[in-house]
Structure 1
Amino acid sequence: MTTLVGGLQNTATLAWRNLVQIKHNPMELMDLSIQPIMFLLLFTYVFGGQMSGSTHAYLQYALAGIIVQNGIFATLNTAVGLNSDLQKGVFDRLKSLPIARSAPLAGRVLADLVKQVWSLVLMLCLGMVLGFRPDSVFGVLGALALMIVFALALSWMNVLIGMVASSPEKVQMMAFVVMFPLTFSSSAFVSVSSMPGWLQAWVKVNPVTALVDAMRALLNGGAVAAPVTHTLLWAAALAVVFFPLALRAYQRR
């Protein structure tokens, strides 16, 4: 029976296996660099003038939402990567090894979170180059930590999708059906008050809205207790529900 320490070591080893691939395939990191830059520039300079009257004002408002959008969509890479490994038979070999049952999944999630840190830091740095001014260093660090915690919890939902989908293409189709409504029907890009009443009811209970509001309060300054608490509760709920389901689906493959 694998001990807790042994399971953590297995997870770290498999996470390193995924990270070291960047050395042989630098384009994997380029994907996490180019897309965030494109989203940030497009939202700022295409929508900024219309939404807030100036690109600078919109950047100050929307950067938190753009970071959240990028972070949520980045978790899709976990599902696609796991499903690809399943198709290639990688997990057949891993299941035959005396390692923790959750290590192959947790290792992939951990590696993708490390990659996501790079993407988040890149977006923040570019945002500041474009004129964004955070309220404090502690707020920036808090926002990064909160995004990673939520991404970790949400990753298990995508792990489940990766386990049950029959191909990487099906993974993307299934995940986008969930990701798009969650992300765009939130306070990420526009004020909730500008939406129809029936939509506001959903937006206010959307977990992405809680995350965006918390990130915006941490980065721009404001009341953080309520949105951060709501975000952490949502993260805990996602992890509690989807971690065992993902592990069960993995064991049945």
Structure 2
Amino acid sequence: MADYTETSAVSLLRSTLIQTERLLVRWARNPITLLETLLIPCLLLVMLDIVVGGQIEKFTGEDALYGSVPMVALVGALSGAVAGGVLLGRERDSGLLARFWVLPVHRASGLVARILAEGCRILLGTLTVVLVGFGLGFRFHQGPLAALVFLLIPMLFGLAFATIVTAVAVYSAKASLVEGITILTSLMMFFSTGFVPLVAFPTWIQPVVRNQPMSVAVDTMRGLSDGGPIARPLLLTLAWSGAAIILFAVPAAIGYRRASRR
């Protein structure tokens, strides 16, 4: 009966909710996670609007916020995923994951809880960035449905990236390797269509900038908020995110199980 209880759907739901709450409370009490998720993205958005917003508007005739708000929301999702990966590595090294493994809880609840907690964190960070953007002049011009999809894009993009970070965190013995992923996120930000318009880049690198994961996600969110092409960037966003999940989900799950059984 105990085995049936621990492996039942009810046990999965109850254990997942408890562990999701634990993660959210721990992240809320961690200054680094709060900085990466809320404060730094908002400061970055304000800084971009002050420093380059006016120049981009003069150059293109369009409000730069419709590129910078999506980009900053995506950067916040990626940065928070890295901070979560660092904490996951610390829980593994301290033996906390192993302690949860021997408790009478559903085995899948730990990983499912992290997915739910990541989704909540990304949604909160995206809403915070959008609210700051509203204060600067950002608006949704394509209706409530488009606004809802706008909010879902960072969640999909961030969860796909979190899958990669989780796979690295459960196999890596050093948190510095997880934190090194921030170099990749910085390159994606500076070489994206959210940072400056595509025509501002040298011709030889424009195809790379136009099709890299962050650029297509930014272009999708720009189309959903201010208007413009949506089909192509949305399909590419789904393709990039789906590829990351397909390639890293199984290694992440296997690594999480091994880390929990140490």
TM (norm. structure 2) is: 0.85
Take 1:230 and 1:8, find their aligned partners in 2: how far apart are those partners?
33
Deviations 1:131-153 (A, max 9, x none): 11221332221110121122112
2:126 equivalent among 100, 103, 120: 120
Q: Which residue of 2 aligns with 1:218?
A: 224
1:242 equivalent among 233, 243, 248: 248
Take 1:22 and 1:196, find their aligned partners in 2: how far apart are those partners?
41
Q: Which runs of 4+ in 1 moved over 4 A?
A: 26-30
C-alpha displacement at 1:38, in angstroms?
0.6
Take 1:143 and 1:177, find their aligned partners in 2: how far apart are those partners?
26
Take 1:5 and 1:239, find their aligned partners in 2: how far apart are those partners?
26
C-alpha displacement at 1:100, in angstroms?
4.1
SS at match of 1:133: coil
Aligned pair count reads 251
SS at match of 1:79: helix
C-alpha displacement at 1:189, in angstroms?
1.0
Q: Which residue of 2 aligns with 1:169?
A: 176
Take 1:176 and 1:30, find their aligned partners in 2: how far apart are those partners?
16
Does structure 2 conserve the Cα–Cα contact (< 8 Å) formed by 1:109 and 1:152?
A: yes
C-alpha displacement at 1:95, in angstroms?
2.0
Take 2:187 and 2:10, find their aligned partners in 1: how far apart are those partners?
39
Q: Which residue of 2 aligns with 1:45?
A: 50
Structure 1 unmatched ranges of 5 or more: none
Take 2:167 and 2:33, find their aligned partners in 1: how far apart are those partners?
24
C-alpha displacement at 1:211, in angstroms?
0.8
Does structure 1 conserve the Cα–Cα contact (< 8 Å) formed by 2:33 and 2:80?
A: no
RMSD: 2.5
The code of the aligned residue for 1:215 comes to: M
C-alpha displacement at 1:30, in angstroms?
4.2
The answer on 1:181 being equivalent to 2:181 is no
Structure 2 unmatched ranges of 5 or more: none
C-alpha displacement at 1:39, in angstroms?
0.7
Structure 1 pair 102–157 and aligned structure 2 pair: CA distance change class (3 A): farther
The answer on 1:199 being equivalent to 2:209 is no
Does structure 1 conserve the Cα–Cα contact (< 8 Å) formed by 2:169 and 2:178?
A: yes
Structure 1 pair 40–199 and aligned structure 2 pair: CA distance change class (3 A): same
The answer on 1:12 being equivalent to 2:12 is no
Does structure 2 conserve the Cα–Cα contact (< 8 Å) formed by 1:188 and 1:209?
A: yes
C-alpha displacement at 1:72, in angstroms?
2.1
Structure 1 pair 207–61 and aligned structure 2 pair: CA distance change class (3 A): closer
Q: Which residue of 2 aligns with 1:74?
A: 80
The answer on 1:60 being equivalent to 2:66 is yes
Take 2:246 and 2:8, find their aligned partners in 1: how far apart are those partners?
21
Does structure 2 conserve the Cα–Cα contact (< 8 Å) formed by 1:153 and 1:239?
A: yes
Deviation larger for 225-234 or 82-91:
225-234
Q: Which residue of 2 aligns with 1:36?
A: 41
> What is the percentage of aligned positions where both structures have the same residue?
25
Q: Which residue of 1 aligns with 2:97?
A: 91
Take 2:73 and 2:62, find their aligned partners in 1: how far apart are those partners?
16
